[in-house]
Amino acid sequence: MEKRQERDGRYLAALEEVTQSLWQCKKKYNLLEEENYPAVRRLKAFEEKLTTERRLVEEVSLPCRFILEHFTTFMGKSDHTVGFSIGQQLELGRGSINDFSIKEWGNVCLVIGNMQLCWRDQDYQYLFYPDKVVLRSIDRSKPEIHLFFNFAFKYSKILAEFKDVPTDKQTLYCYPDLFEES
């Protein structure tokens, strides 16, 4: 945990420096008023990605961050897929994790194949299994979200850095020995 916090501090400082440089460049080269020009739109997308990275460290819960960090280890790899279901109403096949973003108020959006799955982190508790995560809404009227993946947590090599996930207030259940080193 201390190693993660120290690394997070350095990472946030680097993100801040890159963001400040981007803002200065946009101002210096007068790119603020040409929002519909393709290159400026890509700069805006880059800026949004930087914001997501900062929010990943500062704003979402530790269990949510753990899931997103795990998914990052196999993002874009077609041989490692994620499936999801929402309650009893919607089941989807499997797809690759293509991206994720974190919007204002901790709204997390996963891009799985060509589908986008979104939830508000603060409104959910997390149940962890070796190759599945269940997101259970605090408001019981909302359906559960199930994320199934074939790249189990033990393969991502980040378990040691997230050993405090089982004791987090948003973790409702953690499979016994999930965070034990093999």
Cα separation, 152 vs 142, whole angstroms: 27
Asked whether 134 and 143 are in contact (CB, 8 A), the reply is: no
Distance CA 158, CA 29 (A): 40
pTM: 0.91
Convert the pLDDT of each residue in 54-63 to its tens digit.
Answer: 999 999 999 9
Contact 146, 129 (CB under 8 A): no
Whose structure tokens read 């109403």?
Answer: 89
56-to-59, 106, 164, 181 alpha-carbon distances in Å: 6, 9, 16, 25
**Domains in the chain, please, with CATH?**
2-58 (no CATH), 62-174 (3.40.1570)
pLDDT digits (tens, 9 = 90+) for 130-146: 999 999 999 988 899 99
- Residue pair 147/119 in contact by the 8 Å Cβ criterion: no
Q: What is the pLDDT of residues 6-21, one digit of tens each?
A: 999 999 999 999 999 9
Residue range 146-163: mean pLDDT, rounded: 92
What confidence tens digit (pLDDT) does each residue in 111-133 have? 999 899 999 999 999 999 999 99
